[in-house]
Amino acid sequence: MSMEEQMALITTNLQEVLNPEIMEAVLKKGEPLTIYWGTATTGRPHCGYFVPVLKLAQFLQAGCHIKILLADIHGFLDNLKAPIELVKFRAEYYRFVITALLKAVNVPIDKLEFVLGSSYQLTPEYTMDLFKLCSMVTEHDAKKAGAEVVKQVENATLSGLIYPLMQALDEEYLKVDAQFGGVDQRKIFALAKEVLPRVGFKERAHLMNPMVPGLQGGKMSASDPDSKIDLLDTPEVVRKKLKKAFAPPQTVEGNGVLSFAEFVLLPASSLKHGTQKLIIERKDAEPLVYTNIEQMQKDYVADVLTPQMLKPAVTEALITLLEPIQAEFQASSEWKEIETKAYPPPPAPVKKEKKKKDKGSFYPKKVEAKADGHVEGADKAKVDVGEDSGAKAIEKLGLEDAK
């Protein structure tokens, strides 16, 4: 590829690029561009991960060297989203998932490198550089940088302020030319651009994906089961979730199903088959064949393409895309073992023992109360006079002593 072709492939479908000249300078030397993408190893990866992974696939096609940071320490710092005991197992699980995602779209992974955050973030050198950044960045700026990434809570812990400083510092320690992430990371990227030169480190370029809405129209979240599809969901579960997905007719904005077609299915078909294509079946007419999102959106607004046609097509295309990933999971005892360790099932609730109630000598009685107050039935005599003899009853009452 020429430098222009490489840059076109690297920047396609991105919402924003900061300092592209940094990347151009590297490519002009004929050197491979090194890009890193970090993911905090917290909740189970879902189908939304196809979006950054497919972009990583395009970077690999352009001849870039990709470093994937499995940010185990970050996962712990982000409001304790991942318990420290589980982060190691979750990082391994993420490694399996991301590798399977890339293989599912026929992307060679020889230029892909996984780096565990704790492998260098616990060294004295890194710690000292982090202290330097802490002495330069105010509480206000650190909080602002992580506002869209770190979970915001009342009375927040200091760990949420350290998180964006570490993400900035990772650029230097991973020795990359650029960092890639969602546009929600922009404030952290801006912080890195500003503070790294102040501690003697060079600026990096930053590449940002647009945020893709979830199935319910809002942000795709691992904590909201209705907003996302797990990579190991069965075809039945996928069909059920997509049937309930948010796809209002003639509306493109915030349409999670249409966005999934744009950012996952069309690019994935190009990587797998060499041609970008999505086929929409129709009952009484020829199928609609789309090779670009612009025509899909135009037809959707014109009601030529309806939600009733779009959802089944997206569903079956996604099921096909998930098949090799799920097959690999089923064939790997190691992956299955890691999944159990990374996401152990919640403990079964302890059932409280019911205390045996002393219901008294009059319960149960086989009698029936009548409206006038008298009773009838097999135990009528017991209810009328009690089970004890009259003498014993008087003794219990202490009336003998009173005489």
The pLDDT of residue 28 is above 90: yes
Q: Taking the model in full, what pTM does it have?
A: 0.79
Whether residue 376 has pLDDT greater than 60: yes
- Residue 400 has what pLDDT? 47
Structure tokens at 100: 């399977």
**What CATH number belongs to 235-342?**
1.10.240.10
The stretch 104-121 carries a mean pLDDT of 89
Average pLDDT over residues 88-113: 89
Domains 3-209 and 235-342 share a fold: no
d(CA 54, CA 56): 5
Residue of higher predicted confidence among 23 and 45: 23
**Residue 249 pLDDT level (bands cut at 50, 70, 90):** very high
- For the chain, report the end-to-end CA distance as a whole number of angstroms: 117
The model's pLDDT over 141-188, given as tens digits with 9 standing for 90+, comes to 999 988 888 776 677 778 888 989 999 999 999 999 999 999 999 999
- pLDDT tens digit string along 283-339? 888 999 999 999 999 999 999 999 999 999 999 999 999 999 999 999 999 999 999
pLDDT above 70 as % of the chain = 83
Question: If one looks up domain 3-209 in CATH, what number appears?
Answer: 3.40.50.620
The pLDDT-based confidence of 223 (bands split at 50, 70, 90) is low
pLDDT of 126? 97
Extents of the domains making up the chain: 3-209, 235-342, 368-402
